[in-house]
Structure 1
Amino acid sequence: MRTNILIIGAGQAGLAAAYALKRQGLSFLIVDAGTKIGDSWRNRYDSLTLFTPRCISALSGMPLVGDANGYAGKDEFADYLRRYASFHKIPVSSSKKVVRLEKAGSLFVASTQDGNRLTSHIVIVATGAFSTPRIPGLSKLLPADIQQMHVTEFRNPGSVAEGPVLVVGDGASGRDVAIAMAGFQKVLLARGRKRRLLPEKVLGRSLWVWLGQLGLLQASAQGIIGRRMRREDPFPVRGNDDASLRRSGVILKPRLAAIHDRRVSFADGSSENIRSIVWATGYADELPWIEVEGAVDARAAPIHSNGIDLPLKFHPAAIRASAVFDKPYGAMGATGGNAKLTHCVSLEPVAAMIPA
């Protein structure tokens, strides 16, 4: 099947791209690995909510109904994405997982898991940043009778075996998961580097609104502000600060240092027996299925500078991205034998990449 523009992924980034293209009268094909729009949100842990309030979480062209300063739950947002696609008549081809993307002359060729081949002049990669779980090598030292899972597999306290559980990683997900289990069993939370937590509101307004008005959400990832924000990876406190964790019964521990059979040791020399581990250790920015020369590095991470692929010498004027907090959503365009990979957060200018 051949199309001018192929969008891979029908989450918020893919649907936003489709909306922008449709408004400009451009034809496209959008494919998604899930069986239903929003599945990437539905299939996460039960207590997950968006980090950002509804007032700044909606996509262009459709509000996110509810308390503007409140936070949508994961199922609510999944349903919103489904309604968004229906309202704007965005056709999504579901259960189409792309397993390889390569270049054939002036075209891109995407191969799907069910054996189909899709060719296009433009490819927008909108598969999100949470598809490749990162699990430390220490996991290989655990005996077979110790249950372990990445946070992507956790749904609720019933997901883990009875007995002491260790959550490794104190980002927002790790803290959420620890609190969710604290009323049911002994929970330890291993923390790495010092975590910078920000207030949820400043002068009665959402921190995110202030960040947007100050231009921090549009800061260059390579700039001083962008580098610092990405290094510290801060997030607003919403009942998951250290004091709240302790009140919930979560035992805070320093970095996990070693595993000896069923006993884990921490950086302060203390140790505990455990029955299970939840790895809340983040995700790798890897797209190993992209086999386009110059688009990804040796680790399969996108090669870019503020979303523009410098090694490929494509026209540099295409897209401005919010690069401080985002992860690689990208677009590739074929013109004169060259390709381009760019972040696709601010999506209105996508049409500028289409060959004349």
Structure 2
Amino acid sequence: MNQYDVIIIGGGQAGLSLGYYLKKTALSFIILDKGSEVGEVWRKRYDSLTLFTPNFYSALPGSKFNETKNLYPTKDEVADYLQAYVEENELPIQHQTDVQELHQVTDGFRIVTNRGDFHTKKVVVATGPFQKPLIPGFSQSLSSNVLQLHSSEYKNPTQLQKGSVLVIGGGNSGAQIAVELSRERHVYLSVGHKLKFIPLDVGGKSIFWYIDKLGLYSAGKDSFIGSKIRKLKDPILGSELKPLLDNKTIKLKPRTISIQDDTFQFQDNTELQVSNVIWSTGFRADYQWIHISNLFDQAGFPIHERGVTPVTGFYFIGLPWLHSRSSALLGGVGKDAEYLVNQIMKPVAKE
């Protein structure tokens, strides 16, 4: 059995940031990742995806983001950066390793994978929040004549069949996809809340510069500012969508509530028929492989205090609002990683 002091499950930016700080310790560790290469999750996203954070706010600890053609890096530039980060810091990562079960044992944890069992004294789950596509159950009622894709499956417009498209979901991915598709076909955007827009740049500076200077970027989740921000819906970043909604190039629809054959029904009792639908409805976490009690609340969310759980030696990293708004972002996860490594270094109390 492979034995380590620490095992990190997940080789995205959170797991790599943690690895950076663990390299500074004497602890033995490995990063297990089910992908075939570093940055694979980024490469699989839709072709036109770009970050909303500029490159100078997108770096992991101890490294600058590579110079990019554009101020806002593409998804492939992010993947290239992560690959270079692993090589530069000589991080031990094992790919094509699917963690199937995680158990607590007398002296730590046993991790069952498709490539054998691992044992560790301490374990960090860095798989992030985007694990399983979240699609309403009524999607199963949709006629087979309508092509439907989740945003995680969408790559570019050539995947779609001819005709109009309905994008369901009012987040930034849905906004970007709707804008792209509107260049060549009729597009409808269904959202369940009023959209708010924030420009990417103000006065020649990135909006994230202002967010950082105002303390919004690093405000703790339980602080006054943090608690206020958490109650708000995420805004649409950038200026592309709003004028297209204003001039009806993209037609706005309220929340989608049901489907009958090939007809979508909305909250305002209107109906619509389209040839394609993109479910930009987010993701849900999947922790069924973790067979340890006292880790999750009744809703299935991890119980933790800045990533430290009630189970000795068990940690989470890379979750939205793990500590602050920036916890799940490239440029912010490093602070959580440094904090967790300090916690990991504390000796396990003997009972």
Matched residue, 2:270? 270
Which of 322, 330, 336 is 1:346 aligned to?
Answer: 336
Matched residue, 2:27? 26
Matched residue, 1:339? none
Shifted more, 180-189 versus 47-56: the winner is 180-189
Measured against aligned partners, the alpha-carbon deviations of 1:136-162 in whole angstroms (never above 9, x if no partner) come to 122122123322221000000112222
Q: Please give the secondary structure, in 2, of the residue aligned with 1:152.
A: coil
Measured against aligned partners, the alpha-carbon deviations of 1:24-82 in whole angstroms (never above 9, x if no partner) come to 34321111110010001000001111121111101122211226981110001001100
Matched residue, 1:106? 107
**Pair 1:12-2:13 in alignment:** yes
Counterparts of 1:68 and 1:348 in 2: how far apart (Å)?
30
Structure 1: runs of 5+ lacking an equivalent: 330-342
Distance 1:19 1:249, change over 3 A: same
Counterparts of 1:298 and 1:63 in 2: how far apart (Å)?
40
Distance 1:219 1:33, change over 3 A: same
Distance 1:262 1:130, change over 3 A: same
Q: Please give the secondary structure, in 2, of the residue aligned with 1:153.
A: coil
Counterparts of 1:55 and 1:247 in 2: how far apart (Å)?
34
Superposed structure 1 runs of 4+ greater than 6 Å apart: 313-316
Shifted more, 218-227 versus 46-55: the winner is 218-227
Counterparts of 1:172 and 1:353 in 2: how far apart (Å)?
35
CA contact under 8 A between 2:68 and 2:77: conserved in structure 1?
no
Matched residue, 2:148? 148
**Pair 1:289-2:279 in alignment:** no
Matched residue, 2:46? 45
Distance 1:202 1:68, change over 3 A: farther
Q: Which residue identity is paired with 2:200?
A: E
Higher relative contact order (CA 8 A, sep 6+): 2
Counterparts of 2:181 and 2:137 in 1: how far apart (Å)?
25
Counterparts of 2:80 and 2:98 in 1: how far apart (Å)?
21
Q: Please give the secondary structure, in 2, of the residue aligned with 1:264.
A: strand
Structure 2: runs of 5+ lacking an equivalent: none
Counterparts of 1:72 and 1:193 in 2: how far apart (Å)?
29
Structural RMSD (CA) = 2.9
CA contact under 8 A between 1:181 and 1:187: conserved in structure 2?
yes
Q: Please give the secondary structure, in 2, of the residue aligned with 1:108.
A: strand
Measured against aligned partners, the alpha-carbon deviations of 1:114-139 in whole angstroms (never above 9, x if no partner) come to 25111101111111221121111221
Matched residue, 1:191? 191
Matched residue, 1:334? none
Matched residue, 1:92? 93
**Pair 1:119-2:119 in alignment:** yes
CA contact under 8 A between 2:143 and 2:262: conserved in structure 1?
yes
Counterparts of 2:31 and 2:312 in 1: how far apart (Å)?
27
Distance 1:288 1:247, change over 3 A: farther
Post-superposition offset of 1:237? 2.7
CA contact under 8 A between 2:163 and 2:274: conserved in structure 1?
yes
CA contact under 8 A between 1:10 and 1:37: conserved in structure 2?
yes
Within-5 A mapping of 1:145-294: 145-235=145-235, 237-245=237-245, 249-294=249-294
Q: Please give the secondary structure, in 2, of the residue aligned with 1:84.
A: helix
Post-superposition offset of 1:170? 1.7
Within-5 A mapping of 1:292-303: 292-303=292-303
CA contact under 8 A between 1:222 and 1:305: conserved in structure 2?
no
Post-superposition offset of 1:231? 2.9
Post-superposition offset of 1:292? 1.7
CA contact under 8 A between 2:163 and 2:276: conserved in structure 1?
yes
